[in-house]
Amino acid sequence: MNTPTTSAEVLFQRSHARKLKASKRITPARKLTRSSPSERDEQALNEAVLLNWLGQQPVVYHRIYVDITGGVVAAVWLSHVIDRLPMIGRDSQVTSGMSADPGNADFDLSDSDCEEATGISAEQQVLCRKLLAARGLLSERVAFDRASSGKAIHGCYTIHMSKLSELLRDASRPLAEAMLGHVAKVAGVGALLRAA
């Protein structure tokens, strides 16, 4: 073995030695097959935890929807629906029983699909929809499945986007007023500084 001559070579050899030592601590996959069942179970559980944690999309929602809907769960449900709307139009097998209104967004969503994506149980979804309907944001509609000769199906809804827009504007008014007040104060300070 060559003796290092520069400090860079010394650092490289130390780094290489640390990596070599660390690689010996890693259990190769072929060795796992000879390990005990409890070690394999623990390894499988650790991998499952990582897949569940990192392999799923996080559930996100818009904070202002809490103020509009009256609850976090309803806000998550509404955010999920609004986020899915562009996909729903392409993938939907449902035809609307209502006339198309540009202020509305028609969609179908099963309880099981929503629960899989958000974790909101079917019972909680019923409460969410009631909250949204009470605020004029949602209505249930009768729709017909194209694939089964026009059979009426459930899980078909209309989001009233114009009402959502109205509620968003109302909820945003205090922030707009605060922003205007701040601008007026800054302008007043600027005028005072110019006068001085």
Task: Name, in order, each residue with C-beta under 8 angstroms of 65's C-beta and a sequence gap of 6 or more.
Answer: 74, 75, 78, 79
Q: Which of 74, 76, 170 is nearest to 130 (CA)?
A: 74
Overall residue count recorded for the chain in this entry: 196
Identify the pLDDT of residue 8. Answer: 61
51 or 113: which leads in pLDDT: 113
Identify the pLDDT of residue 99. Answer: 39
Domain ranges of the chain: 64-170
- Determine what percent of the chain is predicted with pLDDT higher than 90: 35
Identify the pLDDT of residue 84. Answer: 85
Whether the per-residue pLDDT at 105 is higher than 60: the answer is yes
What CATH fold (topology level) applies to the domain 64-170?
Answer: Arc Repressor Mutant, subunit A (1.10.10)
Identify the pLDDT of residue 127. Answer: 95
Dist. CA 59–CA 79, nearest whole Å: 9
Answer for the pair 85, 136: CB distance below 8 angstroms, yes or no.
Answer: no
Identify the pLDDT of residue 18. Answer: 62
Whether the per-residue pLDDT at 28 is higher than 60: the answer is no
pLDDT band for position 106 (cuts 50, 70, 90): confident
Dist. CA 173–CA 167, nearest whole Å: 10
pLDDT band for position 98 (cuts 50, 70, 90): very low
Q: Does this model's pTM top 0.75?
A: no
Identify the pLDDT of residue 93. Answer: 42
134 or 190: which leads in pLDDT: 134
Identify the pLDDT of residue 92. Answer: 45
